[in-house]
Amino acid sequence: MTEILTLTVNPALDLSTEAPAVIPDRKLRCTAPLVHPGGGGVNVSRAIANLGGDSHPMLAWGGPTGEMLVALLREEGLTPEPLGVDHPTRQSVSVRDQATGLQYRFMMPGPDWTTGDCDTARAAILAAIRPGALVIPSGSLPPGMPLDFFLDLQPAINAGGGRMMLDTSGEALRHAVDRAANLFALRMDHAEARELSGHPLVGIAEIAAYARDLRAGGVAEIVIIAAGAQGNVIACTDWVGLTRPPMVVPISKIGAGDSFVGAFALSISRGEDPVTACCRGTAAAASAVTTQGTALCRRDETERFFGQVTRIPL
């Protein structure tokens, strides 16, 4: 089975809670917070573990918050490996308004990285990459990290027969698209796709057309665009279409994308085709939205939902 290496350069300790109502200028009496380790790659590895798989998580952490994050990961059976950069780890907070059901997410920026920090992390990653590995940089970049940081690792990954699946946001995502990075896989959500394309992308057909364009332009071999409750659009070598999940009652949308990536990566590592992997990711995302905070997907529920995912060619 292919090794999965997840990379998290800007992890966070995630706190999630609820309040009767989120209103200004008042003390909001919240429920006891749930505390989980967070950050894109961290959550991808957690999702893979939830689904019965193995991965190799690498991350940067430091300070009391970082030590708590790592302790929580170890409690979940993961073995995090340091990137050699030990700036204090940030926190993030999500608050669900019980009156409306709306969720508010507050994300701190993370510490500033220096050129030396980037060099240290790069050396650690290159030393950890094994031949044929599926490498997943996921989450935001910290201030000071170049947009090319992960893209510049591709020659070394490709030389060893490995593949990169990128799941990032903001300027780092735009840069990967503009550079035509020739990734193995690239994932984004509908809002990000609209912003990148400069078009509203109304309807699944327009989303699929944009995914085709990205693939044809050399951005990635597999392009996946999450379309919320409608499912995920995938454009790959043999198929373009929608993987539609069963209807579920959402509790929290946090971690749905990371659960998708974890299930998708685990499926690919086991030799399944990209469309089947997308269906497994869609099932895992549906499971994740039914959990509180960042508890992520559940194995039994993901397996059940997988049998209910429909494939719609476009």
pLDDT of residue 293: 65
User: Could you read off the pLDDT of 1-22 as tens digits, one per residue?
Assistant: 899 999 999 999 999 999 999 9
Cβ(144)–Cβ(164) under 8 Å? no
* Average pLDDT for 129-145: 95
Give strand pairing partners of 226.
189, 232
Q: Kindly tell me the sign of the dihedral angle through the C-alpha atoms of 23, 25, 29, 34.
A: positive
* Average pLDDT for 29-35: 94
Mean pLDDT of the chain: 95
pLDDT of residue 250: 87
pLDDT of residue 160: 87
Domain spans of the chain, in order of start? 4-313
User: What is the CATH number assigned to the segment(s) 4-313?
Assistant: 3.40.1190.20
Whether the predicted pLDDT of 75 surpasses 80: yes
pLDDT of residue 72: 97
Residue closest to 73 by CA, chosen among 41, 109, 37, 98: 37
pLDDT band at residue 312 using 50, 70 and 90 as cut-offs? very high
User: Could you read off the pLDDT of 246-285 as tens digits, one per residue?
Assistant: 999 888 888 899 999 999 999 999 999 999 999 999 999 9
pLDDT of residue 308: 98
* Average pLDDT for 171-195: 95
* Average pLDDT for 222-230: 96
- Record the tokens describing residue 100, joined without a space: 């409306």
Question: Over the chain, what HEC string results?
Answer: CCCEEEEECCCEEEEEEEECCCCCCCCCCCCCCEEEEECHHHHHHHHHHHCCCCCEEEECCCHHHHHHHHHHHHHCCCCCEECCCCCCCEEEEEEEECCCCCEEEEECCCCCCCHHHHHHHHHHHHHHCCCCCEEEEECCCCCCCCCCCCHHHHHHHHHCCCEEEEECCHHHHHHHHHCCCCEEEEEEEHHHHHHHHCCCCCCHHHHHHHHHHHHHCCCEEEEEEECHHHCEEEECCCCEEEEECCCCCCCCCCCHHHHHHHHHHHHHHCCCCHHHHHHHHHHHHHHHCCCCCCCCCCHHHHHHHHCCCEEEEC
Rg (CA), the chain: 19
Whether the predicted pLDDT of 295 surpasses 80: no
Strand order in the sheet with 12-19: 34-38, 12-19, 90-97, 103-107
- Which of 14, 117, 167, 258 does the annotation list as catalytic? 258
* Average pLDDT for 27-49: 95
pLDDT of residue 292: 73
Percent of the chain with pLDDT over 90: 92
User: How much is the pTM?
Assistant: 0.94
- Residue 219 CA: distances (Å) to CA of 24, 174, 243: 43, 11, 21
119 a catalytic residue: no
